[in-house]
Amino acid sequence: MNAVVPRTTDASACIDSRFTVPGMRCAGCIGKIERGLAEIAGVAAARVNFSAKRVAVSHAPDLTDAQIVDALNHLGFEAQPVAENPLARDDAETKRLLRALAVAGFAMMNIMLLSVAVWSGADGITKELFHWLSAAIALPAVAYAGRPFFASAAMALRYRRTNMDVPISIGVLLATGMSVYEVLTGGEHAYFDGAVMLLFFLLAGRVLDAVMRDKARSGIASLLSRMGRGAQVAYPGGETKWVDAANLAPGMMMQVAAGEALAADGEIVTGESRFDRSMLTGESVPEPAGPGDIVHAGTINLYSPVTVRVTAAAEDTAIADIARLMDEAGQSRSKYVRVADRAARLYAPAVHSLAALTFVGWMIAGAGVHQSLLIAIAVLIITCPCALGLAVPAAQVVAAGALMKRGLLIKDGSALERLAEVDHALLDKTGTLTLGEPRPSSIAALGEEDRAVALALAQASRHPLSKSLATTLRQVGVTAADVTDIDETPGEGLRGQFAGRTVSLLRPEHGAEGLAVALRNEEREFIILFTDPWRSDAAEAIDALASLGVPSAIASGDTSDAVSKASCEFGIPATGGMSPADKLAELERRRTEGQKVLMVGDGLNDGPALAAAHVSIAPGGASDVSQQAADAVFVGEALMPVALAIRVARRTMKTVRQNLAMAAGYNVLAVPIAVAGYVTPLIAAIAMSLSSLIVVGNSLLLARAARDPK
Amino acid sequence: MNGLIFLIPVALGMGGLGLAAFFWSMRSGQYEDLDGAAQRILLDDEDPA
């Protein structure tokens, strides 16, 4: 059922391309896409990855990406080509952890089997045999499954810092080392089961953490891709070739089709068009440009094909400048210390000095070096932060999963921790408080026939205003009229024949205010106005933020009076006309005042601010750069997920603190037993699994937090 | 006691088999698209092939 029959004869000549298709929702979509693509000549195989909302197509080299995107559009799905598996490295990390977890699980089960026999009374030669067998399983397993911890601990120690992995590594290595010594000397207890179980539980925590990160990233990656990844370049000999953005050089002639994003800065040579600069400025009104005008990478050519001579490519584009600003701004955030490592800073010295004190105490009491060392190591094993290692990721994974169901993708656990600390919010206007795309505001005046005609005309065009009009009309249940001979004149509009007369959807002749189109049917003419409406729950979301003790303010790059209107509408302070550097300065000023600012913004001009803020959220319609800079992305038309995110993040941190307190409380109970020298491997195993279970159970309670409305 | 000579290798072998099966399934990409696998079961197989 999922094998697609190869159609081209020579499979080795095929190349693989990936496309992101955000619109697939069900099994029907999978079947439609795979079957539909397989029918195209030149496609060898198409395989949908539903989780990542991607299609991998294996096709003949002469079939271009654009043709496949076109085919997908015909099947009814919007699609974008994506670069060759950009997330492969993260995947590899998760896979390594999973393999380590599997090995630790295998070793733990088999060692437990042998240990149970020992606990229930095997002795003499049997016991010795079982200890040797345990050692044979445990040593390679610890060496393999412990690597993630040892590597991270070694890294931390090299920079003279300490993190969670340092006490873990010391505990595991000492327990293993001592057990080996016990086995060699035919001793009483071997702690291999404890050491391997510890690794298993801790790896479970790490895997949870990695899975959460991967899931959010692949969700975000499926939204990305508006940036120009390359251009069709015309060479002097008349040949044209596709060139990747990184290989474009000044002087090249790019042929930019309508609807394509520019991959480099340049000067228009021939053609005239309008450009959507919203990625750079946040301004949603398209700007006209003709021969001699400078256009920037990242802007989208809306109307007609133009030829552009590249003036600056790759690292020198205006976009790259902003990216550099963002890199620098992101530096401060890397200094943030996560809660688990903060706990470890307190915890590790306490535990290690306790173990040392135990050793000294028993020596003074005259127990001998071997006996004292055994007891000291038992203290280390029983206090090893098994529950601590699970306390943080378990809670964060549950919270992130709950938020994902509500349309908010959190990139990692540290973002949740920072979200919980937020005390001020800075909001961009266009695309954040508003939907960021024009919507027709006056279709109520249109009669039934006019609506049907408008839909028929609008759906024939890929112009943003037409697309928006068509979507809105379809939403109110209009079916398209039978308009024939539709003809689109770039820069002017659409004309067609309906019931023997000419109907049209044109740019208004006399300058209407803002964005508008004129619909003409018979003698009637309607001006349909477009506005960028507020998100329907923007006011409620701002209220919800305020009730959480997070006052908001607006910081916009927009210079028009729309900013002061927004200020009145929502009753919060607003500043307009801010450049990316201004926004950075504002954040810096607030930081020095001790504020922890949440930045919400979408445009490329918000990128540096998103990277510099204590924590940041971008809407799903934001530019690629912004989504990559932000800590979280919310999808859909509601702004409420932003307030929800803060509330859930605070609940999560409460649960994390409860978990840490429980783990510490368990230590308070267990440590006296260990110090007194009564801990056997059996007690260590029971204590360890019990405390982990309690922590996981407590974290699962969080799933309800995101479901409650208040 | 003699039973152990058989039982322990059997226990280890079965565990090892499970581990090997997990590694194999991971390498062959069976965990790449868990949601998709859940959806594909609903697909009617209409392909003549």
Task: Provide the 10 A C-beta neighbour count for residue A707.
Answer: 9
**A180-183 LR contacts (CB < 8 Å, sep 24+):** A180/A135, A180/A139, A182/A131, A183/A128, A183/A131, A183/A132, A183/A134, A183/A135
Active-site position among A165, A412, A428, A602: A428
B40: nearest CB among A2, A52, A99: A2
Do residues A21 and A135 both lie within one domain?
no
Q: How far, rounded to the nearest angstrom, does the alpha carbon of residue B25 sit from its chain's CA centroid? A: 6
Give pTM, 2 decimals: 0.73
* pLDDT tens-digit series, residues A301-332: 776 788 888 887 766 676 666 666 666 666 65
From A241, A275, A243, A246, select the one nearest A261 (Cα to Cα). A275
Asked if residue A185 and residue A129 are part of one domain, the reply reads yes
Considering only CB atoms, which chain B residues are within 8 Å of A117?
Answer: none
- The pLDDT assigned to A326 comes to 64
Which pLDDT score, from 0 to 100, does residue A4 have? 45
- Shared-domain flag, residues A129 and A175: yes
Give chain A positions within 8 Å (CB) of B40: 1-2, 27, 30, 50
- Are both A150 and A291 inside the same structural domain? no
Tell how far CA A445 is from the center of its chain. 42
CATH code (residue A555): 3.40.50.1000
Greater confidence (A8 vs A181) lies with: A181
Which pLDDT does position A103 carry in this prediction? Answer: 94
Domain extent at residue A609? 413-434+535-630
In this structure, the answer to whether residues A261 and A186 fall within a common structural domain is no
Question: Which residue in A74, A439, A489, A402 sits closest to A284, CA to CA?
Answer: A439
Domain check: are A22 and A72 in the same one? yes
Domain membership flag for residue A52 = yes
Distance from CA of B34 to the nearest CA of A (A): 7
- Which residues on chain A are in Cβ contact (under 8 Å) with B19? 102-103, 106
Does pLDDT of A644 surpass 80?
yes
Give the DSSP H or E segment for A690.
helix A681-700
Quick one: A686 and A594 in the same domain? no
Look at residues A488, A513, A531 and tell me which one is the last residue of a structural domain: A531
pLDDT at residue number A101? 94
Q: Does A405 fall in a domain?
A: no
CATH number at residue A308: 2.70.150.10
Cβ pairs bridging A and B (under 8 Å): 61
* Residue A87 confidence class, pLDDT cut points 50, 70, 90: very low
What letter does residue A434 receive in the DSSP assignment?
B
A144 and chain B in contact, CB less than 8 A: no
Instruction: Give, in order, the Cα–Cα distances in Å from A456 to each of A179, A445, A463, A484, A496.
Output: 79, 18, 14, 9, 9
Residue contact B36–A50, C-beta within 8 A: yes
Q: pLDDT band at residue A623, thresholds of 50, 70 and 90?
A: low
Chain A partners within 8 Å of B11 (Cβ) = 110, 113
Flag whether pLDDT at A591 surpasses 80. yes
Distance from CA of A599 to the nearest CA of B (A): 33
Which DSSP category does A433 fall into? I
Among the partner residues A27, A102, A133, nearest to B39 by beta-carbon distance: A27
Residues of A (87-126) whose Cβ lies below 8 Å from B: 95, 98-99, 102-103, 106, 109-110, 113, 126
- Report how far residue A660's alpha carbon sits from residue A400's, in angstroms, rounded to the nearest whole number: 19
Total domains in the fold of chain A: 5
ipTM of the complex: 0.84
**Does A2 touch chain B if contact means CB atoms closer than 8 Å?**
yes
- Mark yes or no for CB contact A99/B34 under 8 Å: no
SS3 A688: helix
Q: What is the DSSP string of A360-386?
A: HHHHHTT--HHHHHHHHHHHHHHHS-H
For residue A709, pLDDT over 60 is answered with no
Interface of B with A in 1-49 (CB under 8 A): 1, 4, 8, 11-12, 15-16, 18-19, 22-23, 26, 32-36, 39-47, 49
Q: Which of A106, A127, A128 to mutate to test the interface with B (most CBs of B within 10 A)?
A: A106
* Mean pLDDT in residue range A470-482: 80
CATH number of A452's domain: 3.40.1110.10
Shared domain for A420 and A543, answered yes or no, is: yes
> Is the per-residue pLDDT at A524 higher than 80?
no
* pLDDT at res. A9: 45
Which of A27, A98, A102 lies nearest to residue B43, judging by beta carbons? A27
Does A214 share its domain with A99? Answer: yes
pLDDT > 90: percent of chain A: 7
- Is the domain of A215 the same as that of A101? yes
User: Known catalytic residue: A428?
Assistant: yes
